[in-house]
Amino acid sequence: MIKFFLMVNKQGQTRLSRYYEHVEINKRTILEAEVIKNCLSRSKDECSFIEYKDFKLVYRQYAALFIVVGIDQTENEMAVYELIHNFVEVLDKYFSRV
């Protein structure tokens, strides 16, 4: 199950966040800061899947934009990785030059 969906730029600023489980506002900022730090600090040679606390992070970078999805332990990482790509393709077709 997907727990949250984030779009973040290279400076670490959250551009879009959507939570599918209740998380208090003050905990969201802490969670986002830690997740962003973990994803931005990784090199391009490293895997796009990270085990973080009691869930997994799946992220993908498109130019200056990172898309991060938090999932539970039972979810398929490759399926979520493809979901991110399909989401970006839809945005690109709808808005052009995403």
Residue 98, pLDDT > 70, answer no
pTM value?
0.90
Q: Is the pLDDT of residue 26 over 80?
A: yes
Q: Nearest 5°: CA angle at 32, between 27 and 37?
A: 130
Average pLDDT over residues 39-49: 90
| Residue range 59-84, pLDDT digits in tens | 999 988 999 999 999 999 999 999 99
User: For the structural domain made of 2-95, what CATH number should be given?
Assistant: 3.30.450.60
Contact assessment for residue 48 and residue 35, using Cβ atoms and an 8 Å cutoff? no
DSSP state string for 26-85: HHHHHHHHHHHHHHHTS-TTS-SEEEETTEEEEEEEETTEEEEEEE-TTS-HHHHHHHHH
